[in-house]
Amino acid sequence: MHESSLVADLLEKIDVIARQNAAQTVNAIEISVGALAGIGLDHLREHFNAAARGTAAEGAELRLKLSDDPMSTGLLLETVELER
pLDDT tens, 21-56? 999 899 999 999 998 988 889 999 999 999 999 999
| Neighbour count for residue 34 (Cβ, 10 Å) | 17
DSSP assignment string, 8-37: HHHHHHHHHHHHHTT-SEEEEEEEEE-TTS
CB of 23 closer than 8 Å to CB of 56 = yes
Q: Is this prediction's pTM over 0.95?
A: no
What is the helix (H) or strand (E) element at residue 67, kind and residue range? Answer: none
Structural domains of the chain ordered from first start: 2-83 (3.30.2320.50)
Reduce the DSSP state of residue 80 to 3 states and report it: strand
Beta pairing class for 75-83 and 25-33? antiparallel
